[in-house]
Amino acid sequence: MKDKITKIIRPNCCGFEPYVAGKPVETLKRELGLKKIIKIASNENPLGPSKKAVKAIKDNLDKIFFYPDSNVFELKKALSERYRLPTGNIFTGAGGDEIIELLAKLFFNPEDEIVISKHSFVRYGMAVQLMGSKAVVVPMKNGFTHDLKAMAKACNKKTKAVFVTNPNNPTGTYNTKAELAVFLKELPLNKYGVKPLVFLDEAYFEYASLKKDYPDGLEFLKDNPNLIVFRTFSKVYGLAGLRVGYGFADECIVDYIERTRPPFNVNILAQAAAVVSIKDKEHVKKGQKLAKTGKEYLYKELKKLKVKYVDSAANFVLVNVSTLKGKDFFKAMLKEGVIIRAMDEYELYDWVRVTVGLPAENKMFIQKLKKIIRKAED
């Protein structure tokens, strides 16, 4: 049967590997029978959602027999007020993940080339593959940062779009305001007579915005109609389980996204929670602060242990575990009840990515890391 099915699947879809998601706590509990398990794997905010969001969800529970508002009116209004842009420039989706796919479906033809950075978010390559376009992968600068100069150079007549992750997942590095400005300017025209689209993924905007020279993508929208900026409620806002993200673009682009997206892609509870979350600045501040102090603790401890890591502008840290392979370290950590992420699908085989957790979680990670490294060195 499998052979027959494979024949009728679109060839682009046959090559897909299953997505490796961070392991849920309950799954590991079942598998290992461990009592204490922490998940610091998927860059969620360990403080959880805003209390106001939880209340909004409860208040809307008895409305879930209704379809959600297809126009996402209240959320767009709240985003418009928060970011001082007209609602006509704003779109939403079921997480940044769906936004990536919506953009790919809207723009990518098989003959198009899409420029991506090596070691950037795996979902871009998957979207390109889904549409049967060609991904052009550009090596990073100094190993871990988007090389925007090289990415602009990689653009040619066939280039439809460029994905830029700022800050990048999984390396945590960011490109400066000056770098982004030069990049947008340097992009050459393609065969359509326009600059390639720039999909600027700012999933960790709130964390990175603490850095002085980190650019706010929205400031570049006015002069760059080819720019699409998107963000998410999954990270600092603590709503990953609800699936809601948002983006900003030229109003013609937004109009096409609106026409092609599934009409009810952002569910009723997600809309209600997002509207109040965007206004809860205190909660965002707490999340930012927790990540900052958590990173400082991790850096200090890793330095003491002479374990290499990459400085991160986000709420996770890429850690070098070269005494072990990343995957083996990941497995050893699982046995200790700590869920992190191995980086094999990012071709970072000696590294793992650790989400900055609560102080006790960070401490547990360091303790277990010491134990595993000692054992490996014996």
Instruction: Give the residues lining the site for ligand PLP (CB under 6 A).
Output: 43, 95-97, 121, 165, 169, 201, 203, 232, 234-235, 240, 245
SS3 91: strand
Written as six digits, the tokens of 68 are 């959600």
Whether residue 242 contacts residue 233, with contact meaning beta carbons closer than 8 Å, is answered with yes
CB-based contacts of 51: which residues, under 8 Å, 6+ apart? Answer: 283
Query: Measured at the alpha carbon of residue 299, what is the angle toward residues 165 and 286, in degrees to the nearest 5?
Result: 65
Q: In this complex, which beta carbon is closest to ligand PLP, that of residue 190 or of residue 277?
A: 277
Q: Helix axis angle, 281-304 relative to 359-377, nearest 10°?
A: 20
Residue 196 CA to its chain's centroid (Å): 21
What's phi and psi for 57, nearest 5 deg? Answer: -65, -45
| Least spacing, CB of residue 97 vs ligand PLP, in Å | 3
Whether residue 274 contacts residue 72, with contact meaning beta carbons closer than 8 Å, is answered with no
Q: In this complex, which beta carbon is closest to ligand PLP, that of residue 123 or of residue 368?
A: 123
Q: In this complex, which beta carbon is closest to ligand PLP, that of residue 198 or of residue 332?
A: 198
Q: In this complex, which beta carbon is closest to ligand PLP, that of residue 155 or of residue 314?
A: 314
| Least spacing, CB of residue 252 vs ligand PLP, in Å | 24
Rounded to an integer, what distance in angstroms lies between the CA atom of residue 260 and that of residue 128?
A: 18
| Least spacing, CB of residue 37 vs ligand PLP, in Å | 22
| Least spacing, CB of residue 314 vs ligand PLP, in Å | 8
Rounded to an integer, what distance in angstroms lies between the CA atom of residue 303 and that of residue 5?
A: 52
| Least spacing, CB of residue 272 vs ligand PLP, in Å | 17
Q: In this complex, which beta carbon is closest to ligand PLP, that of residue 169 or of residue 224?
A: 169
Rounded to an integer, what distance in angstroms lies between the CA atom of residue 346 and that of residue 20?
A: 11
Report the DSSP beta bridge partners of residue 38: 338
Residue 306 CA to its chain's centroid (Å): 29
Q: In this complex, which beta carbon is closest to ligand PLP, that of residue 169 or of residue 173?
A: 169
| Least spacing, CB of residue 243 vs ligand PLP, in Å | 7
| Least spacing, CB of residue 139 vs ligand PLP, in Å | 19
Q: In this complex, which beta carbon is closest to ligand PLP, that of residue 22 or of residue 225?
A: 22
| Least spacing, CB of residue 41 vs ligand PLP, in Å | 12
Written as six digits, the tokens of 183 are 């990049």
Q: In this complex, which beta carbon is closest to ligand PLP, that of residue 122 or of residue 136?
A: 122
